[in-house]
Structure 1
Amino acid sequence: MTYENILLKKENKIAVITINRPESLNALNALTIKEISSALDELQSDHEVRAIILTGSGEKSFVAGADIKEFSNFNQEKAEELARNGQNILFDKIENLSKPVIAAVNGFALGGGLELAMSCHIRYASENAKLGLPEVTLGLIPGYGGTQRLPKLVGKGIANEMIFSAKMIPAQRAKEIGLVNEVFPIGELLSKTEELAKTIALNSPMAISKAIKATNLSDTDKGFETEIKFFGELFDMEDKQEGVSAFLEKRKPNF
């Protein structure tokens, strides 16, 4: 499939989706959201791909936010439809994808950009990254899951501070509060993210898929029971047979 606003590369079981709108600091518009979603569908069905990296083109911006020009004249009905469709088409899809999605946050991750990064399973950031949710400066609130995912990652108090103040925070502060996992020089960000993706790709895709589903339920009353169920199910799957056999035979597993 040919894409207009994203680049897609697949190599050594790793896929890299690059949002490629440098003229607008990779802002999310409707087409970009649709194209990322389509790329994820393609990668989900590609059995060779074990992990996915999501990043932005250039060094200035991961995603500087949503493309405000597209919704500046919306009324309540159209705004709710925009938020709901975005969640269904992209943000929830990333969070619930059976393959790990790692955000390589290069530069600005603001508004919808930070919400996009937060929907990913893991976040690495460059030293020049700036992260924030500035929606209240527009008389709005985050509409792509920001008020829900940020408190789960950093706690309610810090989330409220970020949302109410609309301040951007630097990468090191984001690491301190648990918003990103690691911080690297901009020139090393993608290679370090690829290293992690390659490590993940060596492990059981069946187990990782179950782990994603279980951890997504960790803050619900279904979490423990789901973990027990999945733990049992994996005992009847071929990856468990290969993993245990490899351990007993003192060799690396071939999943």
Structure 2
Amino acid sequence: MSLVLVARDDAVATVTLNRPEAMNALSRALRGELAGAMRELAADESIRAIVLTGAGERAFTAGLDLKELGADTSNLGAANATDADENPVKAIELCPQPVIGAINGVAITGGFEVALACDILIASTNARFADTHARVGVMPGWGLSQKLSRLIGIGRAKELSLTGNFLGAEAARDWGLVNRVVAPEALLPAAQALARDIATADPAMVRGYKRLIDDGYALAFAEGLALEQERSTAANRGVRAEEVESRRLAVIERGREHAG
């Protein structure tokens, strides 16, 4: 049985973590399959957006397989690898296409970090988030200690990380961690619809814009503005007036369709 399922529908790929009997826990084998699947999709120019979810309704992923770690902590070294071969978070982050996390159940510790590697998060009402690193006694190595505070504020991040308490879907939305909360049966359709919306935009523009947002977010604000100016000047130099006009008309037509 494959631990990671990949389904392609035109320009959208849906990746499913497939260990529902183990709450989609990130065994070494699953981590390797997930990293491999994301690398393969990253290289596929026909795929314009990716949805990442978990099998079942109980868990997106419960994080690193603690039973496996309990038997052999040498797995921690591989889990923290900085390249995309062993580290699924790095593989997700390196995808040039936007990745939408459809959080169908619990996202715990390493699973929380996998969720935070996604560009956009949509949660079902079953979703819950928890950082139990402090309780398990393992320091995060996939970015949670730095990403979470930047997303929800340092005080809230410390509350979650130092208690190990769970954060429900609605609170996660209120804190700005997820974009929206939907019923479980609506989760995958909503995520895939959003992916299809993204897929209708120019793929080179989407990839370049995603990279600009991510690269700028890692900088101080003034440096980010300078980066935008630099890339904008380089990219917009080649834009032709007739292209702008045709795209302007397409935007107007799309707006009318959405209004209807």
Quick check: TM above 0.5?
yes
- For 2:241 and 2:61, the matched residues in 1 are separated by 42
Measured in 2, the distance between the counterparts of 1:44 and 1:160 equals 33
- Aligned residue type for 1:125: A
Cα displacement string for residues 157-193 of structure 1 (whole angstroms, at most 9, x for unaligned residues): 1000000010011100000111111100000000011
Aligned amino acid, residue 185 of structure 1: A
Question: 1:13 corresponds to which letter in structure 2?
Answer: A
Q: Distance in 1 between matches of 2:238 and 2:91?
A: 25
Q: Is the 8 A contact 2:39 2:95 kept in 1?
A: no
Aligned residues: 248
Following TM superposition, by how much is the alpha carbon of 1:230 offset from its aligned partner in structure 2, in angstroms? 2.2
Distance (Å, rounded) in 1 between the aligned partners of 2:2 and 2:242: 41
1:230 is matched by which residue type in structure 2?
Answer: R
Q: What is the aligned-residue identity percentage?
A: 31
Q: Is the 8 A contact 2:62 2:109 kept in 1?
A: yes
Residues 107 and 73 of structure 1, relative CA distance in 2, 3 Å threshold = same
User: Equivalent residue for 1:116?
Assistant: 114
- Alignment-derived partner of residue 51 in structure 1: 49
1:12, CA displacement in angstroms?
A: 2.3
Looking at structure 2, the residues matched to 123 and 227 of structure 1 have their Cα atoms a distance apart, in angstroms, of 25
Cross-structure match for 2:67: 69
Unpaired stretches in structure 2, ≥5 consecutive residues: 253-260
The 2-side partners of 1:125 and 1:242 are apart by: 40
Cα contact 1:115–1:146 (8 A) shared by 2: yes
Distance (whole Å) between structure 2 residues aligned to residue 66 and residue 97 of structure 1: 22
Aligned twin of 2:228 = 227
Structure 1 residues 90-124: Cα deviation after superposition (integer angstroms, max 9, x where no partner): 21232232100000000111111111000100000
Q: Which residue of 2 aligns with 1:42?
A: 40
1:26 pairs, out of 24, 27, 48, with 24
Matched, 1:218 2:217: yes
Alignment of 1:149-160 (within 5 A): 149-160=147-158
Query: Does the Cα contact within 8 Å between 1:128 and 1:171 map onto a contact in 2?
Result: yes
Structure 2 match to 1:146: 144
Shift in CA distance, 157/252, structure 1 to aligned 2, threshold 3 Å: closer
Q: Which residue of 1 aligns with 2:255?
A: none
Give the TM-score normalised by the residue count of structure 2. Answer: 0.87
1:1-255 aligned within 5 A: 4-72=2-70, 79-85=76-82, 89-216=87-214, 217-221=216-220, 222-235=223-236, 243-247=243-247, 250-251=249-250
Instruction: Label 1:78 to 1:130 Cα distance change in 2 as closer, same or farther (>3 A).
Output: closer
CA distance in 2, matches of 1:50, 1:81: 30
